[in-house]
Amino acid sequence: MLSSQVGGAVVEARLSALDAAVDGLLGDDLSGLSNDDIVGVLQRLEVTLRKASAVGHRLVVEATERIIPGHLGCRSVNDLLVGTLRISAADAARRVKGAKKVGTWRSLDGEDIEPELPATAAAVKTGTIGSDHVAAVAKVMRKVPHGVGFDEITVAEKILADAACSVTPDDLVKLGAHLLAYLNPDGDVPDEKERKRRRGLRIGKQGVDLMTPISGLIDPETRALLEPVLAKLARPGMNNPDDPESPSGDVESETLDRDALAKAAARDTRTAVQRNHDGLKVALRQLLSSGVLGSHRGLPVTAILTMTVRQLEEATGIVTTASGGLVPIRDALRMAERAHPVLAIFDHHGRSLHLGRAKRLASADQRLALIAASGGCTRPGCDAPATLTAVHHITEWQDGGPTDITNEDLACDACHALVHDGPGGWETRVASANSEHPGRTEWIPPPHIDPEQRPRINHRHHLGDLLSAALAHYRARRETELREHRRQWMRVPTGDVDTGEVP
């Protein structure tokens, strides 16, 4: 029982009700629930547990500010949690770190201090995200360089918090890595002279087993050239030396047996690094024999770079490749000098202008335009680069959807398979002209993921645009608030102003 101090009775009643609810759930017969009900209960319980973690943050704050550990002979709040709750030191550290990041602390004069991660804290209180999401956001924010401005830091945290509401913590860390690149495109990238000095590929001596160790560092340009080759030749099921029935050559061959590839992919137990090795071996063999690698998903196997006019004019920042890689602008410009020019025209929303076709399969020009416009798979939360995607009809071809650029976008094989009319199927549609992101592809999740089936858009490949738009919105709102504050202050009567004067 809690003490009879102010608030104690109220908290005691809430804890008793919580205990009774949990005890009731433990005794309830769950076998009569439908499959959808089971998923719904899991989701609601998770939301409740996440809200409970926010209560835990408040208690950690209270214990710290009241110096309760010292009163009880504990060295720290961590020791207090370990001793009283019988949890591990790692769990205690995670809870204390969470309270420091999203808890509401008080200043010496008793005023509330805004949480270090305010947008993340708000999402925790609603139960939308959990402790692992908080740790992921904090991990990314710790890596923000000191030179980044306050506005950019504030907006970046909000972008991460918003993304956390629809992606896993692991996906959030991946998104954060690219967000950091946009926040500091040049600061942490070694200059060209330093990259040239550090580049290298070490081919060691063959061992008694005839295996050769390789190590080293490749520069951004070399990686951008290597990634599309591996995407073509290192696909699961292809060129597997351990499987005599594995298709060999390239995945775009007209003679390739698709059924055999699917079966070989299901049997393929190689790791990603093993597939990369096998794919590179095939690439070298082809280069030596013919010098030509053919095409991949309707396009030449080459490095495809996407840059903006501003980047081209200022010669600064980073550009993206169709493989999801990042290349400093200087390297990209040098690569472009030896590349075939490709012109993609976009409207002011960043969407491609009309490119239509009467056939079901998209043309190479359409795919190039989609690579530049979308950057990769468009399903929210997916980070698959453009080289691992196919052209998806937003309105299906069999339903009358045309093979026009306005009805096409990119989706990786796994996400493409999620679009169907059966249970658990996703839907896709084009965002309307009056929406926040007109022309972009909206993915509508099935009820078991979101009972309200709210449309989602993948910003993973558009972080630069998202960051710029969020910054503009934040600064405009702050300027409006400042003007309103000044207007209210100017209306204060002269006698009520501390200085006795109206400015």
- Is 314 among the domain residues? no
User: What mean pLDDT is predicted for residues 110-133?
Assistant: 93
Tokens matching residue 383? 């980070």
For 376, list phi and psi in degrees, rounded to 5.
Answer: 170, -165
Query: Which residue from 413, 388, 445 is spatially nearest to 167, judged by alpha carbons?
Result: 445
Q: What is the pLDDT of residue 357?
A: 39
End-to-end alpha carbon distance in the chain: 58
Instruction: Judge whether residue 241 has pLDDT over 90.
Output: no
Contact 116, 101 (CB under 8 A): yes
Same domain, 69 and 104: yes
Q: What is the pLDDT of residue 185?
A: 66
What is the pTM for the complete model shown? 0.63
- Neighbour count for residue 127 (Cβ, 10 Å): 18
With cut-offs at 50, 70 and 90, classify the pLDDT of residue 41: very high
Q: What is the mean pLDDT of the chain?
A: 80
Domain-ending residue, one of 137, 156, 183: 183
- Is 195 among the domain residues? no
β-sheet bridge partners, residue 202: 215
Q: What is the pLDDT of residue 346?
A: 47
pLDDT tens, 296-306?
555 555 556 66
Count CA atoms closer than 13 A to 446's CA, side-chain side: 13
Same domain, 69 and 132: yes
- Is 290 among the domain residues? no
- Is 330 among the domain residues? no
Q: What is the pLDDT of residue 340?
A: 45
User: What mean pLDDT is predicted for residues 420-435?
Assistant: 87
Q: Which amino acid is at 235?
A: R
- Is 439 among the domain residues? yes
Top mean-pLDDT range of 31-40, 172-181, 183-192, 199-208: 31-40
β-bridge pairing 326-328 and 214-217: unpaired
What share of the chain has pLDDT > 70, as a percent?
78
With cut-offs at 50, 70 and 90, classify the pLDDT of residue 88: very high
Q: What is the pLDDT of residue 52?
A: 95
For 151, list phi and psi in degrees, rounded to 5.
Answer: -60, -45
Instruction: Judge whether residue 53 has pLDDT over 80.
Output: yes
User: What mean pLDDT is predicted for residues 61-83?
Assistant: 93
User: What mean pLDDT is predicted for residues 427-450?
Assistant: 87
- Is 436 among the domain residues? yes
Among the residue ranges 256-260, 355-359, 464-468, the one predicted with the least confidence is: 355-359
Q: What is the pLDDT of residue 28?
A: 93
- Is 421 among the domain residues? yes
Domains of the chain: total: 3
Same domain, 488 and 393: no
β-sheet bridge partners, residue 410: 391
- Is 267 among the domain residues? no
Query: Which residue from 401, 430, 427 is spatially nearest to 416, judged by alpha carbons?
Result: 427
With cut-offs at 50, 70 and 90, classify the pLDDT of residue 179: confident
User: What mean pLDDT is predicted for residues 40-48?
Assistant: 93
Instruction: Judge whether residue 360 has pLDDT over 50.
Output: no
Instruction: Judge whether residue 403 has pLDDT over 70.
Output: no
Name the one residue in this structure whose structure tokens are 């907006």.
Answer: 155
How many whole angstroms separate alpha carbon 79 and alpha carbon 95?
12
User: What mean pLDDT is predicted for residues 311-337?
Assistant: 68
Instruction: Judge whether residue 359 has pLDDT over 50.
Output: no
User: What mean pLDDT is predicted for residues 377-405?
Assistant: 78
Count CA atoms closer than 13 A to 224's CA, side-chain side: 25
Tokens matching residue 148? 């980044």
Sign (positive/negative) of CA torsion 14, 19, 22, 27? negative
The domain in which residue 161 lies consists of 44-183
Same domain, 446 and 364: yes
Same domain, 98 and 121: yes
Same domain, 147 and 58: yes
Same domain, 365 and 490: no
Same domain, 454 and 489: no
Same domain, 439 and 383: yes
Vertex 406 angle, CA 403 and 407, to 5°: 50
Q: What is the pLDDT of residue 347?
A: 47
Instruction: Judge whether residue 190 has pLDDT over 60.
Output: no
Q: What is the pLDDT of residue 302?
A: 57
Same domain, 348 and 478: no
More confident residue, 114 or 283: 114
More confident residue, 199 or 358: 199
Domain-ending residue, one of 133, 157, 183: 183
Query: Which residue from 241, 252, 247, 277 is spatially nearest to 263, judged by alpha carbons?
Result: 247
What's the chain's length in residues?
503
More confident residue, 347 or 139: 139
